[in-house]
Structure 1
Amino acid sequence: MIPLNTGKIGLKNTFFLGSKIFLLVFFLCLFNCKKEKNETAEIKQTPNSEEVKLDLKSLIDDCESQLEISVPKLTDLTKHPRLIETDSTEWEEVPNNRLVWTSGFYPGILWYMYDISKDEKWKQEAIKRTEVFEDFKTITEHHDIGFMMFPAYGKGYELGEKKEYKNILLTSAASLASRFNPNVGTIRSWSNKMHPRWKQHITIIDNMLNLELLFWAAKHGGDKKFYDIAVKHAETTMKNHFRDDYTSWHVLEYDSITGAVLNRNTKQGYADDSRWSRGQAWGVYGYTMVYKETGDKKFLDFAQKLTDKYLSLLPDDYVPCWDFDVASDPNEEKDASAAAVVASALLDLSELVEDKKDQERYYNAALKMLESLGSYKYSGVGKADAFLLHSTGAKSLGHEIDVALIYADYYYIEALDRLKKIKENGKI
């Protein structure tokens, strides 16, 4: 026999059970809506090419006009232009010494202008500015020999038909390869004397760009190990240097014996765990180049993941803040150099991917970046001798803040040269 109060208790339990189910469903819906909203925020709508007002000829003409102004002023062959301070109009020059990583970019700019214009005067100027640091081919003190030699001698070989540069480049590649540690699987970037914060094997994300020298050398008569070292470095960096969301750390310190990761830090970003925008740019460019050289689809897939993450973090003008984690503060400076690096990489990537939608998406994003960089806001025309203003080299170190940087100009003119060839070939 069922007691009379059992029905009341049953009804009460049913009521509370129904309430709990309702609340559970409500919170699940709320969570899913928020999740969908956050995931949607990760997808940035890239413009159509018709929406981008890009006059390529005008941008190229602007670069040539800027060189017409600056080159006659840069007559000291023992120095190279590095930056233009915010309140200045002319390039500040620094000595061509073995520790200054930026020396190759100015001759590289001249080689690209020769390639674009076919004007012999730019070739002669490029030769003059390239051949002053042949002795740098034996640099083993750091990894930047790739940055120093390939934009100068490499572009001279490729764009200027200077085949006599081959042996210089092969020696440079051997010097870079000497810094590879097989226990770690990467090329050591800096010396600990230069950067005493770290005690063992240091590798920075920038180092991905130096692999181009090794790939070139392996294809032009150099040791096969150059190719193997470049691939191994790319694989190890892909494994250790990126977060789960495909953003990059700047500096990794490895145990030089075991290869274990000891620390993940930054030198130029806002904080050790922040997302330094040019670091992400080096990754986008680096893995696009590695896929171009190897044809290994794992590198293409990774390049696309890095690129898509980078694009999702950009503001409306496609030129990032110097660090993505301070971008919400309107007083924080931009970094046009990161935009120039990625614009150039995206033009390559747009030709490497197979999916038509991805081709158009990356191509149109590159156009948008170049449109912004060539606009009055970022262009140096009429304001200073550089192509681009508003780059940030190392705000965390207190210098090169909101300035013109020579490597921003280099990757910008490289992007214009690549775009010109794409248009001429009718590939997209």
Structure 2
Amino acid sequence: MKIRNLLYGIGIMALSSCAGEKTENLDVDKALAYCDVQVHRALAELEKNGEADYSMQPRNILSGEKFWNCRKVAKEEWTGGFWPGILWYDYEATQNDTIRELAEKYTESLKLFSEIPAYDHDLGFLVFCSYGNGYRLTHNPTYRDVIIATADSLATLYNPKVGTILSWPRNIEMLGGHNTIMDNMINLEMLFWAARNGGDRRLFDVAVSHADKTMENQFRPDYTSYHVAVYDTLTGNCIKKCTHQGYADESMWARGQAWAIYGYTVVFRETGDPKYLEFAEKLVDVYLKNLPEDYVPYWDFNAPDIPNAPRDASAACVVASALLEMSGFYGNGQGEKYKEAAEKMLCSLSSDKYQSRDTNVAFLLHSTGHWPAKSEIDASIIYADYYYIEALLRLKRINEGLRAVE
């Protein structure tokens, strides 16, 4: 405990000067040490009564609370893969075998998603953030089999007439047809991975079709994104564009734009087609142009109560991670602007304004989950922490002259 407290204190001192415009003060190793401290604090609570229930995955810490509210692994809970993913990232940073063992236990509770029919698009979040990182670090062949089986399941939601994966089967009637949400772009990575690791090649084609159709129908002329597109199931025509979690149908919901930036970055990586990188650049340009001074967006760029609107640290984490990957796609220093923007985001996120520190056991404060439903407003949310530690590890690799195989 003394060592842990010492690390925590060092991390606070190293990061306290990060709130300004200069980014050279961001010590990535200290930021990762801080994450490790918070992971151990969280685990101490999760296992305080003996061995934890590994099917109970952390979801959020609401304002005034100190510990994770957990949700049972089930079809209705989409965030279950992020905590195992965080443990795998922490293991990657620390090489702590105890963390690896816990990552394995929390990951294995998600195997059921490879064994049941697909119920919605979130299978990539659930299985690739957990099993995907586990396979990357261990090459356990069982993990590979789970990922491929889950990718096959996800592909059953693909409608060739429409050209996209159905996001929410349960909401067909409510929304009026085959619906596709921007979040679904993140789940394509699992399809690409499965296709090049022994799965059906058709999975690649499904992912490309989904990306193309989304590009065609879910963006405005200024490259801001719609959260939801609804298609006629029989004709495949797009019949409605709207929001579910944003302020308004025509507003730019911050996390939706973040999902798009991350998603098209992955599609370029997996296909090598420059049209996807060019598109991602345009999505980034409009995002960066409208950011507040500290590079952490308000939950919706068109929220009427800016500058008093809640922030969404989770969107900043997603974009920071994507920009660090994008920065490696260019020669002659062209990608440096993306790296610098990501560092500014991480510098703010690592300041006393956004890090949770003694407030609770999460990494970060000030994320917004579902503002229209008044759910998880100004909270610590598990996916913010996941993309924060992912971004830190990506920056560490870049600074060390390395590029991980994704």
What is the TM-score normalised by the length of structure 2?
Answer: 0.90
Show the counterpart of 1:416.
392
Paired residue for 2:11? none
**Partner SS, residue 397 of structure 1:** coil
| Superposed displacement of residue 199, structure 1 | 2.4
Matched, 1:165 2:143: yes
Matches within 5 A, 1:37-76: 51-74=23-46, 75-76=52-53
**Aligned ranges 1:26-175 → 2 under 5 Å:** 51-74=23-46, 75-137=52-114, 138-175=116-153
The farther-off stretch of 274-283 and 74-83 is 74-83
Q: What percentage of aligned pairs have identical amino acids?
A: 48
Instruction: Establish whether residue 261 from structure 1 lines up as the match of residue 238 from structure 2.
Output: yes
1:343 and 2:301 equivalent?
no
| SS of equivalent to 2:174 | coil
- What residue number does 1:206 align with? 183
1:197 aligns with one of 156, 163, 174: 174
Q: Give ranges in structure 2 of 5+ residues lacking alignment.
A: 1-19, 47-51
Cα deviation code 1:154-201 (max 9, x no counterpart): 11000233232111111000000010001111000001x346421210
Structure 1 distance, partners of 2:293, 2:103, is 36
Distance 2:22 2:125 in 1: 35
> Cα RMSD between the aligned structures?
1.5
- Cα contact 2:191–2:203 (8 A) shared by 1: yes
Distance 1:286 1:80 in 2: 25
Cα drift, residue 425 of structure 1: 1.6
2:293 pairs, out of 316, 319, 339, with 316
Which amino acid letter does the alignment assign opposite residue 43 of structure 2? V
Equivalent residue number for residue 10 of structure 2: none
Q: Deviations over 1:279-328 (max 9, x none)?
A: 00000000001001110000010011101111111011000000000176
Question: 1:72, CA displacement in angstroms?
Answer: 2.2
Counting only pairs closer than 5 Å after superposition, residues 373-412 of structure 1 correspond to structure 2 as 373-412=349-388
Residues of 1 paired with 2:240 and 2:37: CA distance?
A: 46
CA distance in 1, matches of 2:37, 2:134: 22
- SS of the counterpart of 1:322? coil
Alpha-carbon distance in structure 2 between the residues aligned to 1:152 and 1:200: 31
Mapped to 2, the partners of 1:209 and 1:303 lie a distance apart of 14
Give the 3 Å change call, closer, same or farther, for CA 50–267 of structure 1 in structure 2.
closer
Distance in structure 1 (CA, Å) of the matches to 2:310 and 2:172: 25
Equivalences for residues 151-300 of structure 1 within 5 A: 151-191=129-169, 193-194=170-171, 196-300=173-277
TM-score (norm 1): 0.86
Aligned counterparts of 1:123 and 1:349: Cα–Cα separation in 2: 29
Which residue does 1:330 correspond to in 2? Answer: 307
More helix by share: 1
Which residue number corresponds to residue 8 of structure 1? none
**Partner Cα distance (2:395, 2:340) in 1:** 11
* Aligned residues of 2:62 and 2:380 also touching (Cα < 8 A): yes
Q: Is the 8 A contact 1:186 1:233 kept in 2?
A: yes
- Give the distance between the partners of 1:415 and 1:195, measured in 2 at CA: 35
Q: 1:371 aligns with which of 325, 347, 371?
A: 347
Aligned counterparts of 1:295 and 1:245: Cα–Cα separation in 2: 24
Distance 1:50 1:253 in 2: 43
> Matched residues in 1 for 2:33 and 2:370: separation?
30
For structure 1, which segment, 196-205 or 102-111, has the greater mean C-alpha deviation from structure 2 after superposition? 196-205
| Corresponding residue SS for 1:77 | coil
TM-superposed CA distance for 1:426, in Å, is 6.1
Displacement of 1:356 after TM fit? Answer: 2.0
Give the number of the structure whose alpha-carbon radius of gyration is greater: 1
> Does structure 2 retain, via aligned residues, the 8 Å contact 1:139–1:172?
no
1:83-114 Cα shifts (integer Å, max 9, x gaps): 00011111111111012110000000000111
In the other structure, the counterpart of 2:17 is none
Q: 3-state SS of the aligned residue for 2:179? A: strand
Equivalent in 258, 277, 281 of residue 304 of structure 1: 281
Shift of 1:256: 0.9
Q: Which runs of 5+ in 1 are unaligned?
A: 1-47
Q: Contact 1:321/1:327 (CA < 8 Å) preserved in 2?
A: no
Query: CA 1:387 to 1:195, structure 2 compared with 1: closer, same or farther past 3 Å?
Result: farther
Structure 1 residues 311-320 or 152-161, which shifts more? 152-161
Question: Deviation string for 1:222-260 (max 9, x for gaps)?
Answer: 111000000010011011110000000001100111111
Higher mean C-alpha deviation, range 156-165 or range 83-92: 156-165
C-alpha contact (below 8 Å) 1:80/1:106 kept by paired residues: yes
Structure 1 117/231 Cα, relative in aligned 2: closer, same or farther at 3 Å? same
| Aligned amino acid, residue 98 of structure 1 | K
Q: CA, structure 1 residues 352+400, in 2 after alignment: closer, same or farther (shift >3 Å)?
A: same
